[in-house]
Chain A
Amino acid sequence: MTTTVGPEATATLSTVERLEAVWEEPPGLGSWLGTVDHKRIGLRYFYTGMVFFVAGGIESLLIRMQLAGPDLDVLGPEGFNQLFTMHGITMMFLFAMPVLSGFGNYFVPLMIGARDMAFPRLNAFGYWVLLAAGVFLYSSFLVGRAPNDGWFNYVPLAGEAFTPGINIDYYALGLIFLGISTTGGAVNFIVTILKLRAPGMILNRIPIFVWGELAMALQIVFALPALTLASVLLLLDRKFDFHFYDADAGGDPLLWQHLFWVFGHPEVYIIALPGFGIASAIIPTWVRRPIVGYTYIVIGELAVALIGFGVWVHHMFTVGLPNITFAFISLASFMVAIPSAIQAFAWLATLVAGRPVLRTPLLFVLGFIFIFVIGGVTGVMFAAIPFDQAVHDSYFVVAHLHYVLVGSAVFPIFGAIYHWGPKMTGRLLDERWGKVSFWLMFVGFNLAFFPQHILGLLGMPRRVYTYDADLGWDGYNLASSLGAFMLAAGILVTIINWYRSRARGAPAGNDPWRGETLEWYASSPPAHYNFVTIPTVRAREPMWDQPELADGVQAPEDGGRPLTGGHATLSTSMLDARPQAIVHMPHASVWPFLFAVALLVLAYAVLLDAWALAVAAVVACGVALMGWFWPRGQTQET
């Protein structure tokens, strides 16, 4: 039951009643398994991603306990290797991408004035696959066989000869499985952003968060196949004795590194660009003015996405390739800093030109900028080949990667929790505890990771389960471990804040911050159909510049389209957002869930070499697809 205030009260009852009747998903198992509501799916991505965040956090705390002092015995080498591997996999694939996609899923349709994503069932499928792949990967712990050769999984170590157990098969199958979800989600974002924008939302008026999700999605489509291919070739080598990575039979272990990093470098921008987008969503609202340098920021996001494909070899500066090759990559790696600098200075200009409201969402963004810039300057250091060769594979890298990733993903996500949480739940979070959480996280993070720069410069390699007492590394490691616990405490405060606010937070109303973009046009939480009328947009900050939106529902005389003739939204042209068609969207369907289950069975079957079961699972997938595409007379499916 949603309690809605505001826009609906000013619309005529018949329009609202009709929309409710068409868009409401009746309660029950069918709707729970089959929901195609982008808001329910977005929330599921968010909650599931946060559960994995806690899991990945526990893994990191165990690691830091083992490394708090020299020669400790908290974990043995096998346990440590599984934990640091799963920490990386969890944080990258099961936390950052899902939560950022979750915010995208929830807010992209709202921000562009649409009633859903372009492919609602694909959206549902993406979530179920994420859940299934996460369960699949974590089930490896139950048999003590979690992946244990690092998230980067270099061969020959990860080959059958040196890691014969199913640990690595879990890894390869898990990532292929996840890739299906990620790629489907990316296609969904691209088509949604290009074709479902409200009339009048020309390219120039698209919110930067939406641009960020588009840049992320374009990268996913072209980067993920590299990881999928690398994993498939690895499975072929491991299970069927193929020789792609086998130097003795003419293969090359470096092929894995190339394929992995062709994916792996864009991957970090896949994570960072939505984070930047969140900052560009939060800053204007909380400094009460539009973003400065909009065009440059958009170009910056797209340029990072593009140049990010040209630098992957900088993860391989010590493998012995010719210096001329390295030099080109080094140049690109220096240059990729520029589009990020553009965005950083655009934010800074907006911050000093505006009038800040120093509440938790903005604090997290300020923290993000500080942390990310430190990560960025150490990144520039790595672009210099001789320096990289000195600190590659040392704790200097661990420090850098956490500064850029925690900076560009975790801090924006926590800012979004406080900024957008009230829109999703209808309740405000506690502001005092928000500030407590921020400061614990900010101080804890820097305490945890700044000393690691020094450890790297002192010569401590990464991925080691222990170290000697007489090397001068003890104090920095202890400080780092203490910082990690402080960071964890800060995170816990927000988690508790979230749950308490859901139960008894103050009602948010539809626009608690007087925001500028269209998600504030809807109620908190939004109705199933998002908007009573799909608005015509005439400004980049519609809620600030179009008074008829702030005052209530945009009437048809002003360009608002109720679209009550079915489960429909508008398709518009790509560049100038002219209405082109009415698209009737599918209703709840259980087939995406069943397809995901069939894929899960297939993954286990291949893992365990149960080939008859695998064939049966493939057939089941085919059946599920047929069920999915079987027309039910509710849309224009042909």
Chain B
Amino acid sequence: MSTIETTTHDSALGETGIPGELLPQRYEGPRAFGWWGMVWLIGTEATLFALLIASYFYLRFRYGPTWPPEGIAEPELGLPLVMTAILWSSSAPVHVADRGIRAGDIGRLKAGLAAGFVLGATFLVMTVGVEWPETLDEFGPTTNVYGSLFFTITGFHAAHVLVGLLINLWTQARAWQGAFDESRHLTVQNFAMYWHFVDVVWAFVLATVYLSPNL
């Protein structure tokens, strides 16, 4: 049963020990455990957001017909829509980065990640630096349940954006180290999935927190 090892763990193919059988040792997508790990992480975070948004509508339903509560104006849409455009457009360079490394183009990878970072960071700064202070002039999280909901939901999302930005930096650092090529880029793929997820969640946050009180 002794096998003559001609492959190492770094080779593209490895021997299983059945004479003549070689199996890939590089993988991405559903063949990679790490990919599934990210999928299920997204699953559990998506459930968290779904429950948070369900709680918003539950509390609104229990509160009664006046929503937002007396004394609070309906949310303005100008700034949030600009922020939406910025956040959603950040998915494009990230997608370019992902496609790029599949074709072996390190340049596109680095540029795409960097551009995605800038746009994502801009969104975050606008949330924490402009949107929230403006809102706090009118109400805060301790004012009433509406305020608690507003800041908690946008805050949860912002936290996920922050984590995404950190993962982006990590991915860029690894790219600069030369870790990725056309057959090895699971980190990039996982980051892209996570970042697009954060964008999709924003659609629900936008609809719930900003659009629905205006209806």
Contact = CB atoms under 8 A, between A and B. Distances in A.
Q: Do chains A and B touch in the complex (CB under 8 A)?
A: yes
A122 B149 CA distance: 33
Contacts of A240: 141-142
A249 interface: yes
A265 to B, nearest CB: 14
Interface stretch (A133-141, A270-278, A410-418, A556-564): A556-564
Interface stretch (A285-293, A339-347, A471-479, A628-636): A628-636
Given A15-B2, A556-B18, A191 B33 contact: yes
A608 B18 CA distance: 59
Interface residues of B, number: 57
A250 B68 CA distance: 11
B209 to A, nearest CB: 15
Given A242-B141, A635-B9, A119 B44 contact: no
B19 interface: yes
A221 B152 contact: no
Given A12-B2, A262-B51, A570 B16 contact: yes
Contacts of A250: 59, 63, 69, 144-146
A555 B27 CA distance: 27
Contacts, number: 179
B11 to A, nearest CB: 9
A563 B17 contact: yes
B141 to A, nearest CB: 5
B63 A559 contact: no
B52 A229 contact: yes
Contacts of B141: 236, 240, 242
B89 interface: no
Interface in B165-186: 166, 170, 174, 179-180, 184-186
B36 A580 contact: no
B157 to A, nearest CB: 14
A560 B184 CA distance: 29
B94 to A, nearest CB: 17
Interface stretch (A46-54, A154-162, A251-259, A489-497): A251-259
B44 A221 contact: yes
Contact of A119 (B33, B179, B186): B33
B142 A12 contact: no
Given A243-B144, A259-B55, A187 B27 contact: no
Nearest to A196: B33
A635 B27 CA distance: 12
16 contacts: A15-B17, A118-B36, A119-B33, A186-B40, A187-B37, A226-B51, A242-B142, A252-B62, A555-B1, A561-B17, A565-B7, A568-B9, A571-B31, A581-B23, A581-B27, A634-B9
Interface of A: 11-12, 14-15, 118-119, 122, 183, 186-187, 190-191, 194-195, 221-222, 224-226, 228-229, 233, 236-237, 240-244, 246, 249-252, 254-255, 258-259, 262, 533, 555-556, 559-568, 570-571, 579-584, 622, 626, 629, 631, 634-636, 638
